[in-house]
Amino acid sequence: MNTRRRQITSVNWSKVDAALSSAAYPFSASGSEEPSKKDLVFPGAVLLVAQGGEVLYHSAVGCRSRVPELSPMHRDVVFDVGGLTKPLVTSTLAMQLIQRGQLELDKRLSHIFQTFGVHGKERMSVRHLLNHSSGYAANAPYYRQIANADKGGRAGIMNSRGAIEAIYNEIFRAKLENLPGKVSRYSDIGFILLGNALEVVSGMTFEKLVPKLFLKRFELPSTGYIDLSALRGRGLETINDIIAPTAECSWRGKLLSGEVLDDNAWAMGGVAAHAGLFTTASDIFQTVNALIESYHGRSEMFSPELVREFWAHKENYPKGSWALGWETCGAETKKQKSSGQYFSDSSVGHDSDTGCSLWIDPERELSVVLLTNAIHPSSDNKAIREFRPVIHDLVMESLGYV
Q: Minimal CA–CA distance to 181: which of 224, 233, 139, 125?
A: 125
- DSSP H or E segment with residue 161: helix 161-173
Residues 317-344, mean pLDDT to the nearest whole number: 85
The least confident of 105-109, 228-232, 257-261, 336-340 is 228-232
Q: Minimal CA–CA distance to 356: which of 14, 35, 26, 47?
A: 47
List all residues 6 or more positions away from 49 whose beta carbon is below 8 Å from its beta carbon: 55, 56, 57, 58, 366, 367, 368, 369, 395, 399
Amino acid at 396: M
Dihedral of the CA atoms 244, 326, 111, 96 (nearest 10)? -70
Would you tell me the crossing angle of helices 92-99 and 188-202 to the nearest 10 degrees?
A: 30
DSSP class of residue 121?
A: G
In this predicted structure, what is the pLDDT of residue 1?
Answer: 40
Q: Minimal CA–CA distance to 391: which of 353, 346, 357?
A: 357
CATH of domain 84-222+263-269: 3.40.710.10
Residue 115 CB neighbours (<10 A): 9
pLDDT band at 375 (very low <50, low <70, confident <90, very high): very high
Give the class (CATH, top level) of 14-80+279-398.
alpha beta
- Does this chain's domain 14-80+279-398 share its CATH topology with 84-222+263-269? yes
Q: Which residue has the higher pLDDT, 330 or 203?
A: 203
Rounded Cα distance, 398 and 13, in Å:
6
Percent of the chain with pLDDT over 90: 83
Q: Which residue has the higher pLDDT, 115 or 383?
A: 383
Rounded Cα distance, 247 and 125, in Å:
35
Planar angle of CA 51, 55, 58, nearest 5 degrees: 125
Residues 378-390, mean pLDDT to the nearest whole number: 91
Q: Which residue has the higher pLDDT, 342 or 331?
A: 342
Rounded Cα distance, 194 and 90, in Å:
8
Per-domain residue ranges of the chain? 14-80+279-398, 84-222+263-269
Q: Minimal CA–CA distance to 201: which of 102, 292, 119?
A: 102
In this predicted structure, what is the pLDDT of residue 8?
Answer: 62
Rounded Cα distance, 43 and 24, in Å:
5
In this predicted structure, what is the pLDDT of residue 309?
Answer: 98
* Whole-Å CA distances, 254 to 95, 138, 226, 291, 382: 37, 26, 17, 37, 21
Planar angle of CA 56, 291, 88, nearest 5 degrees: 95
Residues 281-299, mean pLDDT to the nearest whole number: 98
CB 4 within 8 Å of CB 363: yes
Residues 325-346, mean pLDDT to the nearest whole number: 83
In this predicted structure, what is the pLDDT of residue 280?
Answer: 97
Tell the burial category of 139 from Cβ atoms under 10 Å away from its Cβ (0-12, 13-18, 19+): middle
**End-to-end CA separation in angstroms for the chain:** 9
Q: Minimal CA–CA distance to 380: which of 247, 244, 245?
A: 247
pLDDT band at 333 (very low <50, low <70, confident <90, very high): low
Residues 138-151, mean pLDDT to the nearest whole number: 96
pLDDT surpasses 80 at 239:
no
pLDDT band at 122 (very low <50, low <70, confident <90, very high): very high
Residues 10-17, mean pLDDT to the nearest whole number: 96
Rounded Cα distance, 106 and 325, in Å:
15
In this predicted structure, what is the pLDDT of residue 118?
Answer: 82
Q: Which residue has the higher pLDDT, 63 or 2?
A: 63
Rounded Cα distance, 277 and 337, in Å:
23
Rounded Cα distance, 61 and 42, in Å:
10
pTM to 2 decimal places: 0.94
Biggest CA–CA distance in the chain, Å, is 65
